[in-house]
């Protein structure tokens, strides 16, 4: 009997014997997209811990083990999670790395598309790990434009299929289903935000250019830069003047102190909205992590701006 089983297995195509790829992801929205493509076949690993800073994270030894054993890494890219770029340098040679910002068809924006915040930061030096903070180049929060989900889902399905061709049709079907669901959500969000498009708002962290550009919102800038680094006095004065000029709401951010932002509203009519979570760092990883980020952001913005 053992010989018969062995003979049958030897006649199967290699794709039928391949295991579902082991996948690592950097942030919850990416986890959600990958989980949707994998479906019932498996689940990715989320490296960023709940409540952690997506820009500056220290991997634990067990997470380094996850990286070492992974077949595919799906991540936004070094512009958002440089800590993963460094870790991937030591990954096994046959691991496939898929930085989503590099996927063809991705709608990209440059820093400063909404608010030129370079006055305070142009002279900053690189940190002790060699990462500059001039805040030029690609703005990395591109998942907040839902149009980017379509090319990303296709790229994820292709990366998984390259490792597991036997399940290629399932990956493609799951990606198509996810694209249709996100397109429907995009239309729902557009309708929900239409009544408050003209109402100005300021955020703590400059992460909302993609969302505001896609939906035509009146985003007036942020206190902290795109990597959540601290702003200088000149920039804070500029933000305070912007708020005083008629901003309707200011929005703190999850895992960041709201005191500074709220101080800038003193003597103005601006209201404080709910804390935003653009990277979903307060979410438990799930199939809906990507759509939950968009839904929660929409609810927070509409909740404050529609009350004015």
Backbone angles phi, psi at 73, to 5 degrees: -115, 120
Q: Out of 83-87, 184-188, 189-193, which region has the weakest mean confidence (pLDDT)? A: 83-87
Closest by CA position to 23, among listed 31, 15, 11:
31
**Residue 207 near residue 293, CB atoms below 8 Å:** no
Distance, CA of 275 to CA of 255 (rounded, Å): 9
The third-level CATH classification (topology) of the domain covering 195-305 is Rossmann fold (3.40.50)
d(CA 301, CA 20): 39
CATH of 11-126+145-186, one of 3.40.50.1980, 3.40.50.80, 3.30.160.60, 3.90.180.10: 3.40.50.1980
DSSP 143-206: GGSGGGHHHHHHHHHHHHHHH-GGGHHHHHHHHHHHHHHHHHHHHHHHHHHGGGTTS-EEEEES
* CA distances, 244 to each of 160, 202, 240, 266, 304 (Å): 50, 11, 6, 9, 17
Give residue-wise pLDDT tens across range 221-231.
999 876 666 67
Mean local confidence (pLDDT), 152-165:
98
Instruction: Please answer whether residues 275 and 304 qualify as being in contact, where contact means their C-beta atoms are separated by less than 8 angstroms.
Output: no
Q: How confident is the model at residue 18, as a pLDDT?
A: 61
235 CB neighbour count, 10 Å cutoff:
21
Q: Tens of pLDDT along 194-230?
A: 999 999 999 998 999 999 999 999 999 999 876 666 6
- Crossing angle of helices 28-38 and 168-193, in 10° steps, is 130
Determine contact, residues 225/245, Cβ cutoff 8 Å.
Answer: no
> Looking at the whole model, is its pTM more than 0.85?
yes
> Residues with Cβ < 8 Å from 308, sequence gap 6 or more?
199, 248, 249, 271
Neighbours of 77 (CB within 10 A): 21
What is the C-alpha to C-alpha distance for residues 20 and 161, in angstroms, rounded to an integer? 9
Contact 68, 81 (CB under 8 A): no
**pLDDT tens, position by position, 83-126:** 999 899 878 789 999 999 999 999 999 986 554 443 443 333 33
CA distance 256 to 36: 30
Q: What are phi and psi of 249, to 5 degrees?
A: -140, 150
Residue 251's φ and ψ, nearest 5 degrees, are -125, 115
Residue 36: the pLDDT is 98
Which part of the chain is CATH 3.40.50.1980?
A: 11-126+145-186, 195-305
Confidence at 240, pLDDT banded by 50, 70, 90: very high
**Rounded to the nearest 10 degrees, how much is the dihedral formed by the CA atoms of 270, 142, 43, 286?**
20
């Amino acid at each position: 009997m053992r010989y018969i089983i062995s003979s049958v297995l030897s006649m199967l195509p290699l794709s039928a014997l391949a295991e579902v790829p082991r996948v690592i992801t950097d942030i919850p929205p990416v986890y959600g997209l990958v989980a949707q493509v994998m479906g019932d076949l498996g689940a990715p690993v989320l490296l960023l811990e709940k409540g952690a800073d997506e820009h500056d994270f220290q991997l634990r030894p067990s997470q380094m083990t996850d990286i070492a054993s992974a077949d595919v890494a799906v991540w936004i890219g070094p512009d958002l999670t440089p800590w993963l770029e460094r870790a991937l340098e030591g990954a096994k040679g046959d691991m496939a790395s898929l930085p989503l910002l590099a996927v063809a068809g991705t709608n990209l924006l440059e820093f400063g598309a909404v608010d030129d915040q370079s006055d305070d930061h142009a002279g900053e030096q690189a940190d002790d790990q060699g990462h500059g903070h001039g805040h030029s180049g690609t703005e990395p929060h591109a998942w907040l434009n839902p149009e980017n989900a379509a090319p990303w889902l296709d790229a994820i399905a292709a990366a998984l299929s390259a490792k597991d061709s036997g399940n290629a049709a399932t990956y493609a079907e799951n990606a198509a289903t996810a694209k249709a669901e996100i397109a429907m959500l995009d239309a729902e969000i557009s309708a929900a935000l239409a009544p408050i498009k003209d109402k100005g708002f300021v955020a703590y962290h400059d992460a909302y250019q993609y969302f505001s550009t896609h939906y035509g919102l009146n985003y007036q800038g942020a206190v902290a830069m795109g990597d959540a680094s601290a702003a200088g006095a000149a920039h804070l004065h500029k933000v305070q003047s912007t708020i005083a000029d008629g901003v309707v709401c200011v929005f703190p951010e999850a895992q960041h102190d709201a005191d500074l932002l709220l101080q800038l509203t003193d003597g103005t009519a601006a209201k404080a909205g709910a804390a935003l979570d653009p990277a979903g760092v307060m979410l438990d990883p799930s199939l809906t992590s990507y759509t939950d980020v968009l839904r929660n952001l929409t609810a927070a913005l509409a909740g404050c701006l529609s009350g004015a």
